[in-house]
Protein backbone atom coordinates (compact mmCIF):
# COMPACT_ATOMS: atom_id res chain seq x y z
CA UNK A 1 0.00 0.00 0.00
CA UNK A 2 1.10 3.58 -0.54
CA UNK A 3 0.22 6.42 1.80
CA UNK A 4 0.36 9.81 0.12
CA UNK A 5 0.51 12.78 2.46
CA UNK A 6 -0.89 15.71 0.54
CA UNK A 7 1.42 18.45 1.75
CA UNK A 8 0.15 21.36 -0.32
CA UNK A 9 0.37 24.59 1.73
CA UNK A 10 -3.34 25.31 1.23
CA UNK A 11 -4.21 21.85 2.56
CA UNK A 12 -1.90 22.33 5.58
CA UNK A 13 -3.40 25.77 6.27
CA UNK A 14 -6.99 24.57 6.06
CA UNK A 15 -6.25 21.53 8.23
CA UNK A 16 -4.91 23.84 10.95
CA UNK A 17 -8.18 25.79 10.83
CA UNK A 18 -10.08 22.50 11.16
CA UNK A 19 -8.02 21.41 14.15
CA UNK A 20 -8.63 24.70 15.98
CA UNK A 21 -11.33 24.19 18.60
CA UNK A 22 -12.50 27.79 18.06
CA UNK A 23 -13.62 27.05 14.47
CA UNK A 24 -17.43 27.19 14.26
CA UNK A 25 -19.68 24.47 12.83
CA UNK A 26 -20.33 26.58 9.73
CA UNK A 27 -16.61 27.26 9.31
CA UNK A 28 -15.69 23.62 9.85
CA UNK A 29 -18.20 22.46 7.23
CA UNK A 30 -17.02 25.01 4.68
CA UNK A 31 -13.34 24.21 5.22
CA UNK A 32 -13.90 20.42 4.96
CA UNK A 33 -15.60 21.09 1.64
CA UNK A 34 -12.68 23.23 0.45
CA UNK A 35 -10.01 20.79 1.56
CA UNK A 36 -11.93 17.91 -0.07
CA UNK A 37 -11.67 19.72 -3.36
CA UNK A 38 -7.89 19.96 -3.01
CA UNK A 39 -7.56 16.32 -1.91
CA UNK A 40 -9.83 15.33 -4.79
CA UNK A 41 -7.47 17.06 -7.20
CA UNK A 42 -4.60 14.87 -5.94
CA UNK A 43 -6.47 11.56 -5.79
CA UNK A 44 -7.74 11.97 -9.37
CA UNK A 45 -4.39 13.14 -10.73
CA UNK A 46 -3.77 10.00 -12.85
CA UNK A 47 -7.31 9.30 -14.10
CA UNK A 48 -7.26 8.11 -17.69
CA UNK A 49 -8.38 10.44 -20.45
CA UNK A 50 -9.27 9.72 -24.07
CA UNK A 51 -9.10 12.00 -27.08
CA UNK A 52 -12.48 12.89 -28.56
CA UNK A 53 -13.36 14.99 -31.61
CA UNK A 54 -14.92 18.39 -30.85
CA UNK A 55 -15.19 21.69 -32.68
CA UNK A 56 -14.17 24.97 -31.14
CA UNK A 57 -15.88 28.05 -32.63
CA UNK A 58 -12.86 28.25 -34.96
CA UNK A 59 -11.95 24.66 -35.99
CA UNK A 60 -12.26 20.95 -35.22
CA UNK A 61 -9.78 19.36 -32.84
CA UNK A 62 -9.13 16.24 -30.77
CA UNK A 63 -9.32 17.02 -27.04
CA UNK A 64 -9.14 14.97 -23.82
CA UNK A 65 -12.14 13.84 -21.76
CA UNK A 66 -12.18 11.46 -18.81
CA UNK A 67 -12.28 7.89 -20.15
CA UNK A 68 -14.43 4.96 -19.04
CA UNK A 69 -17.27 4.78 -16.56
CA UNK A 70 -17.97 7.67 -14.20
CA UNK A 71 -15.95 7.43 -11.02
CA UNK A 72 -17.64 6.56 -7.76
CA UNK A 73 -17.31 8.24 -4.37
CA UNK A 74 -18.29 6.15 -1.38
CA UNK A 75 -19.03 8.08 1.79
CA UNK A 76 -18.63 6.30 5.10
CA UNK A 77 -21.51 7.70 7.17
CA UNK A 78 -21.72 10.14 8.57
CA UNK A 79 -18.54 12.22 8.53
CA UNK A 80 -17.70 11.07 4.99
CA UNK A 81 -20.58 13.25 3.79
CA UNK A 82 -18.57 16.36 4.66
CA UNK A 83 -15.85 15.33 2.20
CA UNK A 84 -18.42 14.23 -0.37
CA UNK A 85 -19.72 17.76 -0.93
CA UNK A 86 -16.30 19.04 -2.00
CA UNK A 87 -15.58 15.99 -4.14
CA UNK A 88 -18.86 16.48 -5.99
CA UNK A 89 -18.00 20.14 -6.60
CA UNK A 90 -14.95 18.79 -8.44
CA UNK A 91 -16.59 15.83 -10.25
CA UNK A 92 -20.32 16.62 -10.45
CA UNK A 93 -21.12 13.59 -12.65
CA UNK A 94 -19.59 11.05 -10.25
CA UNK A 95 -21.73 8.23 -8.89
CA UNK A 96 -22.13 8.05 -5.12
CA UNK A 97 -22.39 5.16 -2.69
CA UNK A 98 -23.00 5.26 1.08
CA UNK A 99 -21.94 2.79 3.75
CA UNK A 100 -23.11 3.08 7.36
CA UNK A 101 -21.33 1.22 10.15
CA UNK A 102 -21.62 1.26 13.91
CA UNK A 103 -19.30 -0.25 16.46
CA UNK A 104 -20.72 -3.25 18.34
CA UNK A 105 -20.26 -2.32 22.03
CA UNK A 106 -19.46 -5.94 22.98
CA UNK A 107 -17.02 -6.92 20.24
CA UNK A 108 -15.95 -3.36 19.23
CA UNK A 109 -16.13 -4.61 15.63
CA UNK A 110 -17.87 -2.51 12.94
CA UNK A 111 -21.37 -3.71 12.00
CA UNK A 112 -22.95 -2.56 8.74
CA UNK A 113 -26.41 -0.97 9.06
CA UNK A 114 -26.66 0.56 5.59
CA UNK A 115 -25.03 0.07 2.20
CA UNK A 116 -26.07 1.36 -1.19
CA UNK A 117 -23.58 1.27 -4.05
CA UNK A 118 -24.01 2.18 -7.73
CA UNK A 119 -24.07 -0.42 -10.50
CA UNK A 120 -20.96 -1.31 -12.44
CA UNK A 121 -18.64 -0.75 -9.51
CA UNK A 122 -16.13 -3.25 -10.95
CA UNK A 123 -15.41 -0.89 -13.85
CA UNK A 124 -15.27 2.33 -11.83
CA UNK A 125 -12.47 4.06 -9.97
CA UNK A 126 -13.82 4.04 -6.41
CA UNK A 127 -12.79 6.71 -3.91
CA UNK A 128 -13.74 6.01 -0.30
CA UNK A 129 -14.25 9.03 1.96
CA UNK A 130 -13.85 9.24 5.72
CA UNK A 131 -12.09 12.23 7.34
CA UNK A 132 -10.56 10.21 10.20
CA UNK A 133 -8.58 6.98 9.73
CA UNK A 134 -8.44 6.17 13.45
CA UNK A 135 -8.45 2.43 14.24
CA UNK A 136 -8.90 1.74 10.53
CA UNK A 137 -11.63 -0.83 11.28
CA UNK A 138 -14.53 1.08 9.68
CA UNK A 139 -12.55 1.93 6.57
CA UNK A 140 -11.35 -1.67 6.25
CA UNK A 141 -14.91 -2.99 6.64
CA UNK A 142 -16.24 -0.48 4.09
CA UNK A 143 -13.57 -1.44 1.56
CA UNK A 144 -14.31 -5.14 2.16
CA UNK A 145 -17.98 -4.40 1.38
CA UNK A 146 -17.02 -2.58 -1.82
CA UNK A 147 -14.79 -5.49 -2.87
CA UNK A 148 -17.65 -7.96 -2.24
CA UNK A 149 -19.75 -5.82 -4.62
CA UNK A 150 -17.00 -6.21 -7.25
CA UNK A 151 -14.90 -3.06 -6.65
CA UNK A 152 -11.31 -3.52 -7.80
CA UNK A 153 -9.83 -0.05 -8.27
CA UNK A 154 -10.18 1.56 -4.85
CA UNK A 155 -8.53 4.54 -3.14
CA UNK A 156 -9.15 6.01 0.28
CA UNK A 157 -9.18 9.72 1.17
CA UNK A 158 -9.02 10.98 4.74
CA UNK A 159 -7.85 14.18 6.41
CA UNK A 160 -6.09 12.84 9.50
CA UNK A 161 -4.71 9.31 9.94
CA UNK A 162 -3.29 7.55 13.00
CA UNK A 163 -0.29 5.24 12.50
CA UNK A 164 -2.36 2.43 14.08
CA UNK A 165 -5.14 3.00 11.55
CA UNK A 166 -2.76 2.98 8.63
CA UNK A 167 -1.21 -0.29 9.85
CA UNK A 168 -4.59 -2.01 10.34
CA UNK A 169 -5.92 -0.78 7.02
CA UNK A 170 -2.78 -1.82 5.18
CA UNK A 171 -2.92 -5.30 6.71
CA UNK A 172 -6.50 -5.71 5.46
CA UNK A 173 -6.14 -3.99 2.08
CA UNK A 174 -2.53 -3.73 0.87
CA UNK A 175 -3.83 -2.91 -2.63
CA UNK A 176 -5.66 0.28 -1.62
CA UNK A 177 -3.79 3.60 -1.72
CA UNK A 178 -4.48 6.08 1.08
CA UNK A 179 -4.40 9.85 0.60
CA UNK A 180 -4.31 11.92 3.77
CA UNK A 181 -3.55 15.51 4.75
CA UNK A 182 -1.65 14.44 7.90
CA UNK A 183 -0.49 11.46 9.95
CA UNK A 184 -0.83 12.30 13.65
CA UNK A 185 0.85 10.95 16.81
CA UNK A 186 -1.57 8.14 17.64
CA UNK A 187 -4.85 7.04 19.24
CA UNK A 188 -5.95 7.73 22.81
CA UNK A 189 -7.80 5.20 24.99
CA UNK A 190 -11.16 6.27 23.50
CA UNK A 191 -10.00 5.74 19.93
CA UNK A 192 -9.61 9.46 19.19
CA UNK A 193 -6.69 10.62 17.09
CA UNK A 194 -4.24 12.89 19.02
CA UNK A 195 -3.79 15.77 18.48
CA UNK A 196 -6.46 15.27 15.79
CA UNK A 197 -9.43 17.55 15.36
CA UNK A 198 -11.97 15.96 17.68
CA UNK A 199 -15.08 14.15 16.51
CA UNK A 200 -15.39 15.02 12.83
CA UNK A 201 -19.10 14.08 12.64
CA UNK A 202 -20.01 16.18 15.68
CA UNK A 203 -18.03 19.15 14.41
CA UNK A 204 -19.54 18.89 10.92
CA UNK A 205 -23.13 18.53 12.06
CA UNK A 206 -23.10 20.47 15.33
CA UNK A 207 -24.21 17.51 17.41
CA UNK A 208 -22.05 18.32 20.41
Would you please indicate which residues are annotated as catalytic (active-site) residues?
Answer: 103, 107, 199, 202
CA separation for the pair 78, 100 (Å, rounded): 7
Enumerate residues 6+ apart whose C-beta is below 8 A from 108. 137
Interatomic CA distance for residues 147 and 117, integer angstroms: 11
String marking each residue 69-88 x if it binds ligand URA according to CB under 6 A: ----------x---------
Q: H helices within the chain, ranges in order?
A: 9-19, 25-43, 80-90, 137-148, 163-172, 200-205
| Residue 40, number of CB atoms within 10 A of its CB | 23
Separation between Cα atoms, residue 172 and residue 152, nearest integer Å:
14
Site string for ligand URA, 117-136 (x = CB under 6 A): ---------------x-x--
Site for ligand URA contains 164 (CB under 6 A): no
Residue 23's DSSP bridge partners are none
Residues 86-115 that bind ligand URA (CB under 6 A): none
Rounded Cα gap, residues 158 and 80, in angstroms: 9
Distance, in Å, from the CA atom of 179 to the CA atom of 159, rounded to the nearest integer, reads 8
- CB-wise, 132 or 182, nearer to ligand URA? 132
Total residues in contact with ligand URA, by rule CB under 6 A: 10
Which residue lies nearer to ligand URA by CB, 121 or 181?
181
Say whether residue 200 binds ligand URA (CB under 6 A): yes
Q: How far is the CB of 138 from ligand URA (least distance, A)?
A: 9
Stretch that binds ligand URA, among 66-74, 99-107, 174-182, 194-202 (CB under 6 A): 194-202
* Contact stretch for ligand URA (CB under 6 A) within 106-114, 117-125, 142-150, 196-204: 196-204
Residues that bind ligand URA (CB under 6 A): 79, 132, 134, 191-193, 196, 199-201
Amino acid sequence: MTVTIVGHPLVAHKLTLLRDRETSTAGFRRIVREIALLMGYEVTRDLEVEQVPISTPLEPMMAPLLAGKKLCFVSILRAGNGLLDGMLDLVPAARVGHIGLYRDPATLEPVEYYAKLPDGIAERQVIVLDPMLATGHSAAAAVARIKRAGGRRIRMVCLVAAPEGIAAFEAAHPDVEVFTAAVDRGLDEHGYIRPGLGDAGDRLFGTK
